[in-house]
């Protein structure tokens, strides 16, 4: 194993990725697998989860999957039992699962607020608590929470998404402080506009597509593979002195001023 490979290798590490059956979650899981990790894919989309696992198995990658709704206590218990039986330790946890439920009413519906909160903020916290003993056993582990540009910027008609992603950003910092003594590092990745199922409506709208592209310095939308480098970096020992930080993969959206 040469220097570069050893710096970023995930060989022998156990990883869990939530929302892993498609889009950014699938791409990040693929990156972890190809870097040597054993990855447990978690999702509520049964067919997509099965298809994704099959695809990775056919590539000869070390992958398993679990149908799991991370907003339900019963499913979190199922997750804990599965990890206890098959892994014992977890070195990498990627809290990727999330939803966006925009609504143009000034009185944003309570139901949409609760749904967004339960998936985007409460569930990552509950997943971390559920797996904490396995993360601690690893002695050196990495939790990566997937936030968003909306953790920094206000976008219209979606206060629940902005609030929960901002909350997740701060949860990361709080837990990084609390869990650092166990060798657990926790960082955020904030994707910009990336072409996935969640952003399909904007992608297909000519004006919206152009508007989002023009907000970036690189003058393009992102693709899920743009997250590969940062996920490997944060999951590997190359980031062993990095915790409580925000990494935005946004084509320069956040820093672009007049132009």
Domain range annotation of the chain: 3-195+223-249
> So what's the pLDDT on residue 259?
73
- Report the alpha-carbon distance of residue 110 to residue 116 in Å, rounded: 10
> So what's the pLDDT on residue 226?
96
Q: In this predicted model, what pLDDT tens digit does every residue of 130-143 receive, in sequence order?
A: 999 999 999 899 99
Q: In this predicted model, what pLDDT tens digit does every residue of 15-24 receive, in sequence order?
A: 999 999 999 9
> So what's the pLDDT on residue 199?
84
Indicate the angle between helix axes 159-179 and 123-137, nearest 10 degrees. Answer: 20
Cα end-to-end distance, the chain, whole Å: 46
- Report the alpha-carbon distance of residue 7 to residue 47 in Å, rounded: 36
Residue 144 · residue 16 · CB < 8 Å: no
- Report the alpha-carbon distance of residue 133 to residue 135 in Å, rounded: 6
Residue 202 · residue 209 · CB < 8 Å: yes
Q: Which residue has the tokens 């219209």?
A: 156
Q: Which CATH class is domain 3-195+223-249?
A: alpha beta
Q: In this predicted model, what pLDDT tens digit does every residue of 156-202 receive, in sequence order?
A: 999 999 999 999 999 999 999 999 999 999 999 999 999 988 888 88
Beta pairing partners, 248: 190
Mean pLDDT (10-residue bins), the chain, 259 residues: 89 97 97 98 98 98 97 98 96 98 96 98 98 96 97 96 98 98 98 88 88 93 96 97 98 90
pTM of the model as a whole: 0.96
Which residue from 211, 191, 17 is spatially nearest to 100, judged by alpha carbons? 191
Q: Which residue has the tokens 């506009």?
A: 193
Q: Which residues are catalytic?
A: 161
Which DSSP string do the residues of the chain spell out, in sequence order? --HHHHHH--TT-EEEEES-SSHHHHHHHHHHHHTT-EEEEEES-HHHHHHHHHHHHHTT--EEEEE--TT-HHHHHHHHHHHHHHTS--SEEEE----------SS--HHHHHHHHIIIIIHHHHHHHHHHHHHHHTSSEEEEEE--GGGTS--TT-HHHHHHHHHHHHHHHHHHHHHGGGTEEEEEEEE-SB-SSTTHHHHHSHHHHHHHHHTSSS-S-B-GGGGHHHHHHHHSGGGTT--S-EEEESTTTTT----
Retrieve residue 141's tokens: 């582990």
Residue 155 · residue 212 · CB < 8 Å: no
Indicate the angle between helix axes 23-34 and 228-235, nearest 10 degrees. Answer: 50
């Amino acid at each position: 194993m040469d220097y570069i490979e050893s710096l970023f290798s995930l060989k022998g590490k156990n990883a869990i990725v939530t929302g892993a059956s498609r889009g950014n979650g699938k791409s990040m899981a693929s990156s972890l697998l190809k870097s040597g990790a054993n990855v447990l894919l978690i999702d509520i989309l049964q067919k997509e989860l099965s298809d994704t696992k099959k695809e990775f198995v056919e590539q000869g990658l070390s992958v398993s999957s679990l149908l799991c709704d991370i907003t339900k206590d019963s499913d979190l218990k199922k997750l804990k039992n599965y990890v206890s039986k098959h892994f014992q330790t977890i070195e990498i946890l990627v809290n990727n699962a999330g939803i966006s439920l925009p609504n143009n009413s000034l009185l944003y519906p309570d139901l949409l607020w609760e749904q967004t909160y339960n998936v985007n903020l409460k569930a990552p916290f509950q997943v971390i608590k559920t797996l904490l003993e396995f993360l601690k056993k690893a002695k050196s582990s990495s939790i990566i929470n997937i936030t968003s540009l909306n953790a920094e910027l206000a976008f219209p008609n979606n206060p629940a998404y902005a609030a929960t992603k901002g909350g997740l950003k701060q949860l990361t910092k709080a837990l990084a402080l609390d869990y650092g003594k166990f060798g657990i590092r926790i960082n955020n990745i904030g994707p910009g506009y990336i072409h996935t199922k969640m952003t399909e409506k904007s992608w297909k709208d000519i004006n919206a597509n152009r508007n989002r592209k023009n907000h970036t310095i690189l003058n393009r939308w992102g693709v899920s593979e743009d997250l590969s480098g940062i996920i490997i970096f944060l999951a590997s020992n190359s980031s062993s002195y990095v915790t409580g930080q925000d990494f935005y993969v946004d084509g320069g959206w956040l820093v672009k001023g007049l132009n």
